[in-house]
Structure 1
Amino acid sequence: MNTKPTATDAYLACAAAIHIKLTRLQQLADDHFGHDPDAIHWGHIGDLGRVDQALDDLPAIFDGQAK
């Protein structure tokens, strides 16, 4: 019996893991990333800027076009 996963199995598992992470990221965003909105400082802006840049870079993996 072959228990080795197929490429399709591995792809679907990876896609599911990505969806879970995207859902968690949306939850964090909805909660101001755990920050008190009345206590935001420039460090938070820097953190979000790095996240924003990383999110811009990710589609380039699939469509070959960096923003």
Structure 2
Amino acid sequence: MTTQTTAIDAYLARAAAIHTKLARLQQLADDHFGHDPEAIHWGHVGDLGRVDQALDDLLAIFDGQAK
């Protein structure tokens, strides 16, 4: 007998992986993404700008509400 992964099984596994990554991203955000707040420079600001845009792009995929 063979076991075939169903779409719902794969979907739930990927959703769980996304939730894990979101939790890690929240931890990083809470810790200033590993940067010393006293040493923040414009490069860090640019990095966060790209992350912000990427998150907007992802939100647009799922709810069409990109800024």
Q: Same fold (TM over 0.5)?
A: yes
Q: TM-score, normalised by structure 1?
A: 0.92
User: Please, what TM-score do these two structures have when normalized by structure 2?
Assistant: 0.92
Offset of residue 66 of structure 1: 3.2
**Number of residue pairs aligned between Structure 1 and Structure 2:** 67
* Distance (whole Å) between structure 2 residues aligned to residue 33 and residue 16 of structure 1: 22
Q: Find runs of 4+ consecutive structure 1 residues off by over 2 angstroms.
A: 63-67
Query: RMSD in angstroms over aligned alpha carbons?
Result: 1.1
Rounded to whole Å, the distance in 2 between the matches of 1:45 and 1:5 is: 42
- Unpaired runs of 5+ residues, structure 1, are none
Name the structure 2 match of 1:61: 61
Gaps of 5+ in 2: none
